Chains A and B, each alone.
Chain A
Amino acid sequence: MILEKNVTLIALFAALIAVLGLVPQIMLGFGVPITAQSLGVMLCGTVLGAKRGGLAVLLFVVLVAIGLPLLSGGRGGLGVFSAPSAGFVIGFPVAAFVTGLITEKVRTGNLAIVAGSAAIVGGVVVLYAFGIVGFSIIADKTLGEATVVMGAFIPGDIIKAIIAGALTAALYKARPASVLSRA
């Protein structure tokens, strides 16, 4: 049943990314209204690993592209890829892949810390690289200027990555067989 389990997990995590963006009352706390959607992208990497996590997020992006309102706030369609945040959406699958790769390969130490660090590298560093390049192209600004604008959101996303680490460890306790990154 491995093929079926893989496909259904990928489908469900793709759906999870959508749900984290579409249920407005799912907040992350700490007083700041940070949206939870990119947390879903990080979790795809930390829980499903590089290949399957990347596929889950790619599936999500394809669904957005073909016209489904799955981005937070009910956004979707091809317009998303011409918007200032297009770089982020394109970078999502890569972010999940890198996050998953680190989580899979680094086996020493506490899972929460490894997963959290993987989420910072993949979900923040790599993702923002894509996002900043995208923004600089669309807004016709230098990379430095784009970083200044987008940089405001980085602290919130680092908190998100730490949360992803904690959640991954908790998931491993509850459903170890489904944390494929550590299978």
Chain B
Amino acid sequence: MISLTSPVRTRAHDWPAGGKLLALCIASIALFKFSTPLAQLSAISITLVLYALGGRTFLSVGAKRLWVLWPFVVVVGVWHLVTGEIAEGAVILMRMVTSVALANFVTMTTRLTDMMDVLRWLMTPLRLFRIDTSAIEISIAMVIRLVPTLILKGRQIVDAWRARSKSRTNWRVVLPLAIMAIDDADHMAAALKARGGLVARSGRK
């Protein structure tokens, strides 16, 4: 399954993931602290430059990922036009677009493996309490492997519906899909066990 990391390489791809995440946290807090229109305008401009430095494709993919926010922009925009609080509305919208764009920027410039390294580091306290975090990492790999297969099965059930009906599917197609998920879980568990199982390591090497 393809992640949201941009295949177009930028310099930001090489910056350490932990550093980018920390910067994102600081930026997000700053965005809420400095809520004047000027501050927000500067922030959104800097963000735009950041994206532009990644090249045309990078910028256009980034813009496309912001498009999902349009209903919110409409609702808040209309709300503030009606109440007459134009400046406040502009600040809210700019702040939201900037914070989402910056977060997306980190996602687009950080590989999955680097994110998982950060996750592993964040889970260190759990390991201090003897909780086995390797099961968590295996589960992540499992889900990534399972989603495309389950999507295929979902499409097949939808096809089976469409082959006998001209109307859109309804909730009843979820049942066979859930049953398939349960059966697949059983088979995978048996296969895992046959290969040595997920031994709870708790301290053992």
Contacts and interface: CB of A to CB of B under 8 A. Distances in A.
Q: Do chains A and B touch in the complex (CB under 8 A)?
A: yes
Contacts of A77: 4, 65, 103-104, 106-108
Interface string B17-45: 00000001000100000000000000000
Given A27-B168, A167-B171, A9 B182 contact: yes
25 contacts: A1-B189, A4-B190, A8-B192, A12-B188, A15-B146, A15-B147, A19-B177, A22-B147, A25-B162, A26-B154, A26-B173, A27-B171, A29-B168, A67-B4, A70-B147, A77-B104, A77-B107, A78-B24, A79-B101, A81-B103, A82-B100, A140-B91, A163-B174, A167-B174, A167-B178
B5 A138 contact: no
A59 B140 contact: yes
Given A1-B193, A7-B139, A78-B103, A28 B92 contact: no
Contacts of A25: 155, 158, 162, 168-169
Interface string A33-64: 00010010001000100000000000110110
Contacts of B75: 149
B169 A19 contact: no
A78 B174 contact: no
A62 B140 contact: yes
Contact of A66 (B88, B101, B116, B151): B116
Contacts of B68: 73, 75, 83
Interface stretch (A98-106, A115-123, A125-133, A169-177): A169-177
Interface of B: 1-5, 24, 28, 65, 68-69, 72, 75-76, 88, 91-92, 96, 99-104, 106-108, 110, 112, 115-116, 119, 135-136, 138-140, 142-144, 146-147, 150-151, 154-155, 158, 162, 168-171, 173-175, 177-179, 181-186, 188-190, 192-193, 197-198, 200
Chain B binding surface SS class: helix
A167 B155 CA distance: 19
A66 B119 contact: yes
Given A3-B198, A178-B185, A63 B154 contact: no
A19 B154 contact: yes
Q: How large is the interface on A (under 10, 10 to 19, 20 to 34, 35 or more residues)?
A: 35 or more
Given A11-B146, A27-B169, A68-B112, 11 more contacts: A7-B192, A11-B142, A12-B182, A12-B188, A20-B154, A23-B151, A36-B171, A59-B140, A67-B5, A67-B107, A140-B92
Contacts of B69: 83-84
A68 B151 CA distance: 15
Contacts of A59: 136, 139-140, 143
A78 B107 contact: yes
A16 interface: yes
Contact of B143 (A15, A65, A79, A170): A15
Chain A binding surface SS class: helix
B102 to A, nearest CB: 8
A82 to B, nearest CB: 4
A5 B190 CA distance: 8
A22 B150 CA distance: 10
* Nearest 6 CB-CB pairings of A with B: A29-B170, A77-B107, A78-B103, A79-B104, A82-B99, A66-B115
B115 A163 contact: no
A94 to B, nearest CB: 19
